[in-house]
Structure 1
Amino acid sequence: MMTRISRLFAASALAAAALFPAFAAQAEGLIRLSQQFGTIYLPLHVIRDQKLIEKHAKALGLDDVKVEWAQLSGGDAINAALLSGSIDIAAAGIGPFLTLWDRTQGSVKIVAGLANQPNYLVTNNPDIKTLKDFKATDKIALPAVGVSVQARILQMAAEKEFGAGNQNKLDTNMVTLAHPDATAALLSGSTEITAHLSNSPFQEQALKDPKVHKIFSSYDILGGAVTPTYLYATTKWQAENPKTFQAFFEAVKEASAWIEANKKAAADTYIRVEKSKLEPAFVQSLIESPDSKFTIIPAKSFAFADFLYRTDALKRKAESWKDYTFEPLHAESGS
């Protein structure tokens, strides 16, 4: 009998596989990437805008690298696309990554983090001040029920609020919805969605409405800065495409450093690539926030790995964050 997660992967794969043709074997110089919604994906916008993969591939002797992009939402769809061979680089939260790392016996690993940024739980219900105030009718929108980084943060918060063994207490409140749609639903006030475990810029957009308030930040739950979202690939693809892999890794490093040094220009890039209607100054303020840092180095990823293993969501135990990351990251002081 298929498990719920297996059914989700199978269903998502049907849609994801249509995005790109799957190849049994790939030659160096082809890379297919996914991305989602939010400013945390800004390094990918910069890579795309400045053609950084092409730049670093050429320096490695790959003159005709082909780069393809897909916009997906939710870790289930992204993991299914990676498993089906429809994409080479996945961009999703630490929750979906660890689920896939566990399921594949460690044959998927993190290439790099995207940024340290908080996730806020926001609500339009004035009666909800803590997790204890949620009723069965209050639905919490997040990108993927059960497996997204937001879902795992909510479970960690529930354990903290209600005690050991109660991490799933609010699972039945979760509803799968992409961040843009969840924000629209929350602001409308006309749906069952009364809360959203969000990301930037959507959480800050929502908080501009006086009817919306913040319940917690992921930084509160994990005790400091967190890297919620990662870029990951199969070990098979990395082994078969070492130059393309290196070109991508160097591109991510350059993009992160460029954003930190050019925050106004980075905001302009986000607006342009996303075709966003947000004010550039607003996006720039998010990038300049002291809670935001664009870096490839994982922060508190192991806190998730430990929590998921301890609560039986993972069968595979990681002894260190280096167990599930590619070797180029190991010289860094990650966690």
Structure 2
Amino acid sequence: MMMHLRSKLAAATLIAATALSVSAAQAQQKSEISLSRQPGIFYMPSHIMEKQKLIEKHAASLGVPGVTTNVMGGPLSQAQFFTTTKFADANPKIIQAVRDATKEAQDLIRSDTKQAVEIYKEITGDKTSVEELLDFLKEPGMMEWNLEPQGTMKFAAHLYKTGTLKTQPKAWTDYYLPVAHDLKGN
């Protein structure tokens, strides 16, 4: 169960680095983006990104000032963030800002886990004690926050086998945006 959840998190985290939700018809340079807030400690990087306004910070550093993030509550299956290639092509600096913000959030989790847990609790309203959450994160594999896609080719092979995908991808880079192609994924 934990391995499955970690795999979902890893995939979701990389997707966060490569995407934002918006329809293809709306794909032009954006100053406001919408993200879905996910419940649970496995989504802690996105909670840190929200609290510390990391997307806005990284967008500004890439020359796109005034970006705002609208965070919406509610579950979203299999991923935190996704987008169309049309949106990504029109907003490469926003896509890069999301990747950079995700990395910064993951780095904070590693360097100051207590602060990260406190942010998580503030954003989500989780009533679990900081100490219990810190103990939970000490379990094997629970601090494996990374940008790299993990296990996505297995999922893609399954989608091809069931007919959902008409063409079997040769590599994970066939379905991830170029901003992620430098990562060691699978």
What is the TM-score when the length of structure 2 is the normalising length? 0.79
Residue in structure 1 matched with residue 82 of structure 2 by the alignment = 232
Shift of 1:235: 0.6
Unaligned runs of 5+ in 1: 1-20, 76-92, 94-228
Q: Return the alpha-carbon distance in structure 2 between the equivalents of residues 44 and 268 of structure 1.
A: 14
The 5 Å alignment of 1:14-25 reads 24-25=26-27
Tell whether 2:61 aligns with 1:48.
no
Q: Deviations over 1:30-88 (max 9, x none)?
A: 2111132211211110001111111111112222111111112243xxxxxxxxxxxxx
Q: Which structure: greater strand fraction?
A: 1
CA contact (8 A) 2:114 2:134 kept: yes
Identity of aligned residues (%): 32
| Pair 1:72–1:315, CA change in 2 (3 A) | farther
Residue in structure 1 matched with residue 38 of structure 2 by the alignment = 36
CA contact (8 A) 2:36 2:81 kept: no
Relative contact order, higher structure (CA 8 A, sep 6+) = 2
How many residue pairs match? The answer is: 164
Select the structure of larger CA radius of gyration.
1
Q: Return the alpha-carbon distance in structure 1 between the equivalents of residues 26 and 54 of structure 2.
A: 27
CA contact (8 A) 1:28 1:243 kept: no
Partner amino acid for 1:232? F
CA contact (8 A) 2:36 2:75 kept: no
Partner amino acid for 1:236? K
CA contact (8 A) 1:36 1:71 kept: yes
Unaligned runs of 5+ in 2: 1-21
Shift of 1:25: 4.8
CA contact (8 A) 1:53 1:247 kept: yes
Tell whether 2:183 aligns with 1:332.
yes
Residue in structure 2 matched with residue 60 of structure 1 by the alignment = 62
Q: Return the alpha-carbon distance in structure 2 between the equivalents of residues 260 and 247 of structure 1.
A: 20
What is the TM-score when the length of structure 1 is the normalising length? 0.45
CA contact (8 A) 2:58 2:101 kept: yes
Residue in structure 2 matched with residue 130 of structure 1 by the alignment = none
Q: Which structure: greater helix fraction?
A: 2
Aligned-partner SS, 2:46: helix
| Pair 1:332–1:37, CA change in 2 (3 A) | same
Q: Return the alpha-carbon distance in structure 1 between the equivalents of residues 94 and 182 of structure 2.
A: 21
Aligned-partner SS, 1:232: coil
